[in-house]
Amino acid sequence: MELSSTDKQHYANLEKGYQGELVFDELTSRLQNDLYILNDLCLEHNKSFFQIDTLIISQQTIYPFEVKNFEGDYRYELGNFYPKLSKDEIKNPLDQLKRSKSLLRPSLKNLGFQLPIEGSLTFVNPNFTLYQAPLNEPIIHPTQLNSLMKKLNEVPSKLTNRHKLLADQLISMHQTDSPYTRLPSYTFNGLQKGTICAVCHSLICSMERREKIVCETCGHVETVDSAVLRSVEELLLLFPDMKITTNIVYEWCRVIESKKQISRILKQNYTLIGFGQWAYYE
């Protein structure tokens, strides 16, 4: 479907933020110290939701990180963040960090833990510069990432079963239905149909061979069985309440000419519920 300009910008911001989190995840994955690293937590305390991009548990300290993938020149002025040559204030990421810490502290206390919390706002894009950055705020600049990893590796830490219990409890508290998720409205009839290439995500318009699907854009070859099962997963993700039928999958895939072929694949991989025109797969 064609996104509105607002939704396109929102998607671009989400994608850029996600890429920044992957950069930080790659760095923390190399840590050799005895630490628990939890990524992308969404927690709730007293009906207030908060997100933590990365939470590191050491023996004596909890380290929440607010990760930002800002690019370009920014300035810090009177407690606010601005693009360097603009008067348009942006959402203060330090406020986001402070809010997360203020809600994390009582959450930990409720679990029976009162470890010190040392949170940091971490900028990961090498093309980011913050002018007039305050020295008294917990800001990690891109050039300080290696030093940060060195520091975390050298933190005295020997974890116990109690720390594992804390990590498990936090994971179990993760909210999968995040209030921060904002999707554009869509309907089955309003979406363009067709099989999507598993590699380049182009829309495949035709089959070249009965048992294979070939992407005209990148040349990727995939079995029809694999493409159909992937398409069913798309339907389940987009429309979790939809009953999966041969006709629905046939319409969704579009390029697969044989309903019998689709029916065979569904029967081999899902359970048929009901009979006749009311039959569907789970």
Give residue-wise pLDDT tens across range 77-101.
999 999 988 888 999 999 999 999 9
Using the predicted structure, report yes or no on whether residue 244 has a pLDDT greater than 70: yes
Give residue-wise pLDDT tens across range 176-186.
877 777 788 89
Residue range 112-125: mean pLDDT, rounded: 96
Using the predicted structure, report yes or no on whether residue 251 has a pLDDT greater than 70: yes
Q: How many CB atoms lie within 10 A of CB 55?
A: 22
Report helix, strand or coil for 228. Answer: helix
179, 185, 203, 232, 249 from 237: Cα distances, Å: 18, 14, 18, 9, 14
Using the predicted structure, report yes or no on whether residue 220 has a pLDDT greater than 70: yes
Which tokens is 181 given?
């998720």
Using the predicted structure, report yes or no on whether residue 282 has a pLDDT greater than 80: yes
Q: Residue 20: its pLDDT value, please?
A: 96
Supply the pTM of this predicted model: 0.82
Using the predicted structure, report yes or no on whether residue 32 has a pLDDT greater than 80: yes
| pLDDT band, residue 141 (cuts 50/70/90) | very high
Using the predicted structure, report yes or no on whether residue 6 has a pLDDT greater than 80: yes
16, 237, 246 from 256: Cα distances, Å: 35, 21, 12
Residue range 133-142: mean pLDDT, rounded: 96
Using the predicted structure, report yes or no on whether residue 40 has a pLDDT greater than 90: yes
Q: Residue 209: its pLDDT value, please?
A: 64
Report helix, strand or coil for 96. Answer: helix
- Mean pLDDT score across all residues of the chain: 92
Please say whether the beta carbons of 145 and 128 come within 8 A.
no
Q: Residue 249: its pLDDT value, please?
A: 94
Please give the Cα distance from 12 to 15 (Å, whole number).
5
Residue range 148-176: mean pLDDT, rounded: 96
**Exposed e or buried b per residue across 20-51, where buried means at least 16 C-beta atoms within 10 angstroms of its C-beta:** bbebbeebbeeeebebbbbbebbbebeeeebb
Please say whether the beta carbons of 59 and 34 come within 8 A.
yes
Give residue-wise pLDDT tens across range 180-214.
777 888 999 999 998 999 999 988 866 766 788 88
Residue range 161-181: mean pLDDT, rounded: 90
Please give the Cα distance from 282 to 272 (Å, whole number).
7
Q: Residue 39: its pLDDT value, please?
A: 96
Using the predicted structure, report yes or no on whether residue 165 has a pLDDT greater than 80: yes
